[in-house]
Amino acid sequence: MTDRIRLDGKVALVTGAAGVIGRATITLLAARGARIVAVDCNANALQQAIAALPASAQALAQTADVTQEDQVAGYVRGALDHCGRIDVFYNNAGIEGDITPIVSTSLDAFRRVLDVNVVGVFLGMKHVLPVMLQQRAGSIINTASIAGLIGSNDIVAYTASKHAVIGMTKTAALECGDSGVRVNCVCPGLIDSRMLSAIVEGRNPGPTPVPNERVAERIPLRRLGRADEVASIVAFLASDDASYVSGSAYTVDGGRVAS
Ligand SMILES: NC(=O)c1ccc[n+]([C@@H]2O[C@H](COP(=O)([O-])OP(=O)(O)OC[C@H]3O[C@@H](n4cnc5c(N)ncnc54)[C@H](O)[C@@H]3O)[C@@H](O)[C@H]2O)c1
């Protein structure tokens, strides 16, 4: 079958690129023809992630903390110096924070999650949008979550932050108007990953891990998602096939929020 969603010649800037979803996404975007600029605060994991990419990706790794405006400006400048343009921005870095009920969540822990998941996403758009608006072309994809659509116990800051990502996505799409820049977000559900394991273990402390089948009981497709299934939607939203898609929040959750 012909692969319609090609990204040949496009430059894709990806944050959280060393994580489970970030890695799967840089791998898929590179396989579809994109050049990759990969950003993460974990320098070693980032080097490993880009080492696995094909030479055609001409990958650049940039270690940066997405909560620091000078570092965000720096990774955008680095992408422009290396590639001359930014066609796709996958604004994906995020943390789950403490897994605790509201009454035992510290203010510092709450603020830390908002700092990475909300301020980091805001700063990314603030610094990438001028580049794309000047190009009169580009696609931004933010990573929200189904926790941005429904309540989730024991992760109040995370839930608040992902609701905020959906709101910022819609606002950015409106502000971009007919500029040629589209802004969307993905809302992954329960993806087989370190982050999901941390949340499940935090909610179910004890010596015996909760089996995946039990975690998947309330998912209509009866299984966890895979990171590459999130990456597929990101690749679609990044591509010209999504030319009439903006301001959307795409669930990739096996039907979880439909149930
Ligand atoms: N895993 C899931 O089930 C799931 C579900 C819904 C949404 N998400 C979202 O998907 C995104 C990726 O999650 P993941 O599962 O790959 O998690 P992950 O922990 O594997 O990856 C996150 C990456 O972000 C990086 N990061 C964290 N803070 C940073 C900072 N301040 N600056 C730069 N980089 C930073 C980490 O080093 C890590 O490499 C997150 O936004 C997460 O909230 C994940």
Task: Please check the confidence at residue 2 and state whether its pLDDT lies above 90.
Answer: no
Residue 195 lies in a domain: no
- Top mutation candidate among 63, 146, 195 for ligand 1, by most atoms within 8 Å of CB: 195
Rounded-to-integer distance, Cα 44 and Cα 54, Å: 19
Residue 207 in domain = no
Query: Whose C-alpha lies nearest to ligand 1, atom 41?
Result: 94
pLDDT band at 1 (very low <50, low <70, confident <90, very high): low
The secondary element (H helix, E strand) that includes residue 184 is strand 181-188
Distance from Cα 92 to the centre of ligand 1, integer Å: 7
- The answer for residues whose C-beta is within 8 angstroms of residue 98's C-beta and 6 or more apart is 105, 106, 109, 157, 202
Place 259 in a pLDDT band, splitting at 50, 70 and 90.
confident
Domain count, the chain: 1
Handedness of CA 186, 253, 34, 18 (dihedral sign): positive
Mean pLDDT taken over the chain = 97
Confidence grade of residue 3 (pLDDT, cut at 50, 70, 90) = low
Three-class DSSP labels, 203-247: HCCCCCCCCHHHHHHHCCCCCCECHHHHHHHHHHHHCHHHCCCCC
Contact between 77 and 130 (Cβ < 8 Å) = no
pLDDT tens digits along 156-209: 999 999 999 999 999 999 999 999 999 999 999 999 999 999 999 999 999 999
Domain assignment present for 28? yes
User: Domain containing 103 — which CATH number?
Assistant: 3.40.50.720
Assigned token pair, 116: 């990475």
pLDDT tens track for 14-31? 999 999 999 999 999 999
Q: What is the pLDDT of residues 95-150, one digit of tens each?
A: 999 999 999 999 999 999 999 999 999 999 999 999 999 999 999 999 999 999 99
DSSP state of 255: T
**95 is a domain residue:** yes
Question: Does residue 139 lie within any of the structural domains?
Answer: yes
Residue 136 lies inside a defined structural domain of this protein: yes
Tokens representing residue 199 in the block: 């949340």
**Ligand 1 atom showing the smallest separation from residue 120 Cα:** 31
* Ligand 1: centre distance to CA 130 (Å): 25
β-pairing, 138-143 with 88-91? Answer: parallel
Orientation angle between helical segments 43-51 and 20-31, nearest 10 degrees? 30
Q: Which helix (H) or strand (E) holds 182?
A: strand 181-188
Partnered with residue 141 across adjacent β-strands are 90, 184
Q: Which atom of ligand 1 is nearest to the CA of 46?
A: 39
Residues lining ligand 1, Cβ inside 6 A = 16, 18-22, 40-42, 45, 65-67, 92-95, 116, 120, 143, 145, 188, 190-191, 193-196
Q: Has residue 22 been placed in a domain?
A: yes
Is 56 part of a structural domain of the chain?
A: yes
Known catalytic membership, residue 158:
yes
Q: Which of 169, 180, 186 is nearest to 236 (CA)?
A: 186
Dig out the tokens for 160 from the structure: 């608040």
CA 60 to chain centre: 18
- Residue 141 CA to ligand 1 centre (angstroms): 14
Give the separation between CA 74 and CA 42, rounded to whole angstroms: 16
Containing structural domain, residue 162: 11-190+227-251
